[in-house]
Amino acid sequence: MGFQSRRISPSSGAEMTGIDLREPLDNNQFAAIRQAWNDADGLLVIRDQNISPEQHIAFSRRFGVLQRGEVSQGSLLSQYYLPRHPEIYRVSNKKKDGVPQGREDAGTYWHSDGSWKPAPPMASLLLAREIPPYGGDTMFADLYRAYETLSDRMKDILTPMRAVHSLAKAQETTSYGKDLVGQSNAVVDRYASHPIIRTHPETGRKSLFVNRGFTDNIEGLAPAESDAFLEFLFTHSSRPEILYRHQWRLHDLVIWDNRCTMHYAVADYKQAGDRYMHRTTVRGDAPF
């Protein structure tokens, strides 16, 4: 299989064509895909993948162990997993006989998937199975460049610092946290502390690991100090100069690296049409 990749953004992002994930990949072919993903700073768009859930899961497993939906009592998230395929989380505005076909308004804020967990997921693979004629883009920020475009003095200041990422932060500002804990509005005690400057284990490069959705405070700073620092970092890491805005085509499979990118789902499409996506999520390591 001869496939090609080309850069599609000055920040994270490359497009790969000439590949068919319905066919088995040998180890050399997979290694080439993984290298292209790292070379593209953690964001790879593979076009034209009209693959089954089984093929999506099998390909995703090449990257690592997959997260599985936990059907926990009272959690509204359980309903969004694909029946008989708990590795696939559905994101959609569609309803069938009044039943949601996926999580609506998922990720409508800057975040790195699950950064509030002690071992946040390494990667996510999102497949477009149905898209509106326009709208419903996903924005990606390049967190390598967010780090690299800080002054050397600021890099030094941030290097020893750690930040607390929490689901409670998301719960305050988004509907995601509320769904995760069921109907309750109670703030849940689910959080993790991570270094603000993160070193990628595959590329050895440093990135800025904070996001407005989940990062709550910087350890050891007074609240006003922490808020001011984080506000600067949130703004710095989502500047247009380091963003790529993905306009989905049908059967795009987008693989992003949660260790060096963050993303924002633009929920502007509901007047335009339906959107139906399947996502798999690759587990990460802890600590980092």
List residues with catalytic annotation. 111, 113, 263, 279
Amino acid letter for position 203: T
We find the least distance from the C-beta atom of residue 107 to Fe ion, in angstroms, to be 4
The window from 86-94, 99-107, 205-213, 238-246 that contacts Fe ion (CB under 5 A) reads 99-107
Give yes or no for residue 252 binding Fe ion (CB under 5 A). Answer: no
CA gap 275, 107 in Å, rounded:
14
Number of H helices, E strands in the chain: 7, 18
The window from 105-113, 182-190, 197-205, 208-216 that contacts Fe ion (CB under 5 A) reads 105-113
We find the least distance from the C-beta atom of residue 246 to Fe ion, in angstroms, to be 13
Give yes or no for residue 107 binding Fe ion (CB under 5 A). Answer: yes
- 86: cis peptide before it, omega within 30°? no
CA gap 57, 23 in Å, rounded:
13
We find the least distance from the C-beta atom of residue 126 to Fe ion, in angstroms, to be 8
Label residues 81-107 b or e (16+ Cβ within 10 Å = b).
bbeebbbbbbbbbeeeeeeebbbbebb
Single residue of 113, 142, 179, 216 touching Fe ion by CB under 5 A: 113
Q: By C-beta, is 29 or 86 nearer to Fe ion?
A: 86
Q: By C-beta, is 19 or 126 nearer to Fe ion?
A: 126
Strands 14-17 and 43-46: parallel
Contact 251, 125 (CB under 8 A): no
Q: By C-beta, is 191 or 264 nearer to Fe ion?
A: 264
Q: By C-beta, is 16 or 125 nearer to Fe ion?
A: 125
We find the least distance from the C-beta atom of residue 262 to Fe ion, in angstroms, to be 9
The window from 76-84, 104-112, 245-253, 268-276 that contacts Fe ion (CB under 5 A) reads 104-112
**Would you report the helix, strand and coil content of the chain in percent, each value rounded to 5?**
25, 30, 45
Could you list the residues that contact Fe ion (CB under 5 A)? Answer: 107, 113
